[in-house]
Amino acid sequence: MIGVLALQGDYEKHIQILDQLGMVSTEVRYPEQLDSIAGLIIPGGESTTMTDLMERVGFHKPIREFSEKNPILGTCAGLIMMARSVEDSRVSSLGIIDVDVDRNAYGRQVHSFTDSLPVSLDEQSKSTKATFIRAPKISRVGPTVEVISSYDGEPVAVKQGHHLGLAFHPELDDVTIFHEFTFKKQFETIHAA
Amino acid sequence: MADKGSFEVKVGLAEMLKGGVIMDVMNADQAKIAEDAGAVAVMALERIPALIREEGGIARASDPQMIKDIQKVVSIPVMAKVRIGHFAEAQILEALEVDFVDESEVLTPADEHNHIWKHDFKVPFVCGCRNLGEALRRIGEGAAMIRTKGEAGSGNIVEAVRHMRQVQSDMKKLTVMDQDELMAAAKDMGAPFALVQQVAKLGKLPVPNFAAGGVATPADASLMMQLGAETVFVGSGIFMSDDPAPRAKAIVDAVTYYKDPAKLVEISTGLQSAMKGLDMSEIPEGERLQERGW
């Protein structure tokens, strides 16, 4: 079962993608629920709000521990929460992917956009539609992090170990490749059963 | 080529605000309190609805300087209101790069027949409604988010409940209608046919559906979420109460844990008095803000 952090944001859109893939999912609002899931999605939303809500119920440590053995996919605010550091003291990130990010670096909503992107997944090159909403930029990429997609010469999708962080929202465009990729193992287990 | 300002990109931001609380603020200090409490966005306006009601006069879009001051201190989206039909106010807010424009019945209407043609803008719009026909007319004009009108500045949840129940019940009826009944339904509710067909198929609005107008307590927020709202706006309820910061935090928590009564006990305990509020019988019919909009 895949959990979607449902404190705030577009978690329902992620659940719809998991439904499309035939994956069982659950909304996660309490740290103890992490014990019963095999992967986690941190959705888009506002990272300041997520920081507050995560701190109030003590989510930081349990998610860090969970990430050692299980894959996490973060989109937009999710990427911000997974970063090692954020140029903003209002956000307290998890440090799961060794990148630094700047919030809202493309500007306010009138600068939000959709475009197509090349992505390299499993040594294959694919093209995907990508929607950036008040999106963050990745300002530093650590040595063990793989950049799987760039836009205008800047990294917008990164992979470290079994984790994936995206500056955009595949869940808004019914793009399933990132969910399939991150939870490949969990997906195989379901189908083998 | 990057495509900016499409309807999908506008609805995209509305999707990100789900499950968060949008708070009315009148200055940068209040905006900061709202952000620190976990607000997902702030609505900048010169006077919150309860004060507009008290003081009277024409309520217009806010001073750009006040909006700029708020944009400077917070990192969350900044929304602002324009008068119904006042597209020039909307153009100014778009040039200011506010993140969302509320074409709102709380301000004095500028046009008594027409709303703004919102498709012409890159900035997304939210509009109020009391029933499905009104919601679909606004979406037809380009609104990327719908909220119930409720009765702004009343501190009374009764009208928001009425409007949310009405929209939900109107939608349920469409889902069980035969195809040949939908045109008459569209005619009756004065809604664009294509959108009526879409709702009949989806069973929900094609854009996020939020609640506004009268939310004053964590329980009010939970009630609206359980009735089908995807998040709530809090207008006067925070800064007209005796304890804005803890109340704001409590309402943020209540929207996340709306289905968990035990948690709601914890969230609601120890707050001071909520805003006093008004019974609907205290607001003469011609003075109800919800009646503005067409």
Quote the CA–CA distance of B42 and B34 in Å, as a whole number. Answer: 7
Query: What is the mean predicted confidence (pLDDT) over B86-115?
Result: 97
What are the residues whose beta carbons fall under 8 Å from the beta carbon of B127, sequence distance 6 or more? B102, B103, B104, B115, B138, B141, B143, B145, B146, B147, B293
Does pLDDT of B67 surpass 70? yes
Contact between residue B11 and residue B208 where contact means Cβ atoms under 8 Å apart: yes
Confidence of residue B161 (pLDDT cuts 50, 70, 90): very high
pLDDT of residue A192: 66
- Per residue in B139-149, pLDDT tens? 999 999 999 99
CA distance A170 to A14: 9
Chosen for mutation from A26, A112, A156 (greatest number of chain B CBs closer than 10 Å) is: A112
As a whole number of angstroms, the distance between CA B145 and CA B152 comes to: 18
The pLDDT-based confidence of B56 (bands split at 50, 70, 90) is confident
Catalytic residue among B10, B81, B149, B249: B81
Nearest Cα of chain B lies from the Cα of A23 at a distance, in angstroms, of: 22
pLDDT in tens, A82-94: 999 999 999 999 9
The Cα A80–Cα A52 span in angstroms is 14
**Average pLDDT score over residue span B103-118:** 97
Q: How large is the average pLDDT for residues B154-161?
A: 95
Chain centroid to Cα A69, Å, comes to: 16
* Interval B134-160 mean pLDDT: 96
> CATH number of the domain that A59 lies in?
3.40.50.880
Name the residue type at position A27.
E
Q: Across the interface, which of A8, A103, A109 has its CB nearest the CB of B256?
A: A8
Choose among A30, A32, A40, A31: nearest CA to A3: A40
Complex prediction ipTM? 0.96
Instruction: Compute the average pLDDT of residues B205-219.
Output: 96
B170-210 per-position pLDDT tens digit: 999 999 999 999 999 999 999 999 999 999 999 999 999 99
Chain B contact for A6 (CB, 8 A cutoff): yes
Residue B157 pLDDT exceeds 60: yes
* C-alpha distance across the termini of chain A, in Å: 13
Q: What is the total count of domains within chain A?
A: 1
**In A21-96, alpha helices (H):** 47-57, 60-69, 77-82
Q: What is the mean pLDDT of residues B274-278?
A: 88
Which of B39, B77, B260 is closest, CB to CB, to A109? B77
Residue ranges of chain A with per-residue pLDDT less than 50: none
Is the model's pLDDT at B273 over the cut of 90? no
**Contact list, A53 vs chain B (CB under 8 Å):** 38, 252-253, 256
Domain that holds residue A184: 2-192
